[in-house]
Structure 1
Amino acid sequence: MDLDHTDLAIVRELQTDGRLTYETLAQRVGLSRPATRMRVQRLLDSGAVRVVAIVHPAVRGLTATAHLAIGTRGEAAPVAREIAAMPQAPFVTLTGGQRPVMAELRTAGFSELDRAIERIRSLPGVRSVDPLITTRHLKDPYLLTDEPAVDHLDDVDEKILDELERDGRLPFAELAERAGLSAGATRARTLRLLEGGVAKVVALVRPDVLGIGFLCGFAVRLQGPTDDVAARLASWERVSYLSTCIGRAELVGTISAGSLGSVLATLEEMRACAEVREVESWLHLELVKERYDLGAAHS
């Protein structure tokens, strides 16, 4: 799908706040409200952009996260599809690297995480599974890294979240009808949930749509303390995701860039850091799955 500068501006605004009103969005991109609405609908209909609510994992009881590097015997795609069918796996890719499949798992505690990893190890075609266990999320375009400020959710709150996970731009009037409340009460509850960090409504976009068609994963082994170098890497624009972890490395992350040259330059800058002992990297070649509406599977 070919996007012009105005389309790209709309996408970037929705990545920051997927529930921006058409009036506000129109003002920011310099279009009329009807023209803006038409462009947004075209983006959604194309499948290149999805606007959804991403609920904080802690709210869903998903307290354990791991990144898996998976070696295969024979073709990797069937293995990736099997893992993508697991409700605990929100993110699965085929890669160019030593391990051809990378996956993220989110589970309700480490016992469930261990069972999910063992299930992957038992899949036909899986040769090896090397997990990195996340200890702290430092940067994520989708994940809310701070703990939610809302302590208690009732059944109506859960219904609102479920509906927004399916369609993040659902109008308040329609959301109210589904939740069984007035439009005003629904709006108040929704804003409480969003402002309290329970969920974030964002646009999920195919990387090639934004001209950042190269995604490179990396794992960094450090010498000395982690915090300073982790904060430095998280501040880099091309580093779109970063977590501390336990396993073969202390940091795991993603570089998003418009060219292989930019990916290489970022990796070289990373290797030049005095605290960095080793950088392992891989290119994400095909996004097999990216879904974060995992609450129903764990409720």
Structure 2
Amino acid sequence: MDLDRTDLAVVRELQTDGRLTYETLAQRVGLSRPATRARVQRLLAGGGVRVVAVVHPAVRELTTSAHLSIGVSGPAEPVARAIAAMPQAPYVTLTAGSRAIMAELRAKGLAELDRAIESVRSLHGVDAVDPLISLQQLKDPYLLAGRPDVPELDATDRLILDELERDGRLPFAELAERVGLSPGAARARTLRLLDGGVAKVLALVRPDLLGLGVLCGFAVRLEGERDTVARHIGGWDRVSLLSACMGRAELVGTISAESLTAVRKTLEEMRACAGVRAVESWVHLELVKERYDLTTPGS
């Protein structure tokens, strides 16, 4: 799918607010309402753009996470697919580097995270698992900041979140029918959840559609304190994700770039930063899974 300038404008607006009305979206991108609706439907049908609700991790109690570098004996793709089938894994990729697979796990506390890591280790074909335990998400376009400002959620609230995780642009009338409310009540509940920071509806877009088709992961070992280096690296446009972690490195993240040359330059700039001892890197070859509508066993 090739995106023209207007498509890109539509996508950028939906990345900020995935539930913008067609009227508002049309005004912002300079099209008629029917033309805007047709553009959005074409983008969604093409598979490169999904509009979903990203629920605050605290709501799902998924407060602990880890980045896993996974070595395999034999083909990597079947192992990656098996990891992607785990409910604790929102993100799995096939990579080129010292390890064949990179994955993120999220869980309800360290004990559950440890069990999930052991489940990965026990998969047929896995011969090494090197986890980096996340301490703090420093830069993440999909992470909601702060704590949700909404009282205890009831069963209907959770049904609304479940539906919006599957389709963030679900019309209020259809949402109301699915959760057993009137359209007005469904709208009021949804706005309360979104305004309260419980969830955010946004567009997930394949990076190549935005001209950022090369994704490179990195892990940084530091010589001194972390915060200054983290603020510096996290301010770079090409660094799309950054976490403080413990394990073999103090920082882990992702570079989203337009070319391998741009990746190489970014890595060189990183290695030249004061306080950086070493940088490990890997190239993401294929995105196997990217989903944020996670529930864990027993939830």
TM-score range (shorter-chain normalised) is: over 0.9
Query: What corresponds to 1:126 in structure 2?
Result: 126
Deviation at 1:296, TM superposition (A): 6.5
Query: What corresponds to 2:30 in structure 1?
Result: 30
Q: How big is each residue's C-alpha offset from its partner over 1:65-112, in whole Å with a ceiling of 9 and x where there is no partner?
A: 000000111111111111111111110000010001000000111111
Matches of residues 276-291 of structure 1 in structure 2 within 5 Å? 276-291=276-291
- SS across alignment from 2:242: strand
Say whether 1:78 aligns with 2:78.
yes
How many residue pairs match? The answer is: 299
Q: Distance in 2 between matches of 1:92 and 1:200?
A: 22
Say whether 1:275 aligns with 2:263.
no
- SS across alignment from 1:295: coil
Say whether 1:105 aligns with 2:105.
yes
Verify the 8 A CA contact 1:72 1:126 in the aligned structure 2: yes
1:24 alignment partner AA: T
Verify the 8 A CA contact 2:64 2:134 in the aligned structure 1: yes
Q: Distance in 1 between matches of 2:119 and 2:129?
A: 11
Structure 1 residues without counterparts, runs of 5 or longer: none
2:171 alignment partner AA: P
Q: How big is each residue's C-alpha offset from its partner over 1:224-267, in whole Å with a ceiling of 9 and x where there is no partner?
A: 11112111211111111011001001111001011111111111
Deviation at 1:298, TM superposition (A): 5.2
Verify the 8 A CA contact 1:91 1:103 in the aligned structure 2: yes
Verify the 8 A CA contact 1:222 1:278 in the aligned structure 2: yes
Query: What corresponds to 1:49 in structure 2?
Result: 49
Verify the 8 A CA contact 1:148 1:197 in the aligned structure 2: yes
Verify the 8 A CA contact 2:87 2:295 in the aligned structure 1: no
CA-based RMSD of the aligned residues comes to 1.1
Q: Distance in 1 between matches of 2:14 and 2:121?
A: 38
Query: What corresponds to 2:252 in structure 1?
Result: 252
Verify the 8 A CA contact 2:245 2:252 in the aligned structure 1: yes
1:138 alignment partner AA: L
1:64 alignment partner AA: T
Say whether 1:137 aligns with 2:137.
yes
Q: Distance in 2 between matches of 1:166 and 1:298?
A: 20
Verify the 8 A CA contact 1:60 1:295 in the aligned structure 2: yes
Say whether 1:58 aligns with 2:47.
no
Query: What corresponds to 1:185 in structure 2?
Result: 185
Verify the 8 A CA contact 1:137 1:145 in the aligned structure 2: no
Deviation at 1:136, TM superposition (A): 0.5
Query: What corresponds to 2:217 in structure 1?
Result: 217
Q: How big is each residue's C-alpha offset from its partner over 1:180-213, in whole Å with a ceiling of 9 and x where there is no partner?
A: 2222222221111112111111111111111110
Verify the 8 A CA contact 1:60 1:298 in the aligned structure 2: no
Q: Distance in 1 between matches of 2:202 and 2:168?
A: 7
Query: What corresponds to 1:160 in structure 2?
Result: 160
Greater displacement, 185-194 / 252-261: 185-194
Q: Distance in 1 between matches of 2:275 and 2:16?
A: 32
Q: Distance in 2 between matches of 1:228 and 1:196?
A: 31
Cα separation, partners in 2 of 1:39 and 1:297, compared to 1, 3 Å: farther
Q: TM-score by structure 1 length?
A: 0.97
Cα separation, partners in 2 of 1:156 and 1:296, compared to 1, 3 Å: farther
Deviation at 1:49, TM superposition (A): 0.8
Q: TM-score by structure 2 length?
A: 0.97
Q: Distance in 1 between matches of 2:296 and 2:162?
A: 8
Q: Distance in 2 between matches of 1:185 and 1:78?
A: 45
Verify the 8 A CA contact 2:107 2:296 in the aligned structure 1: no
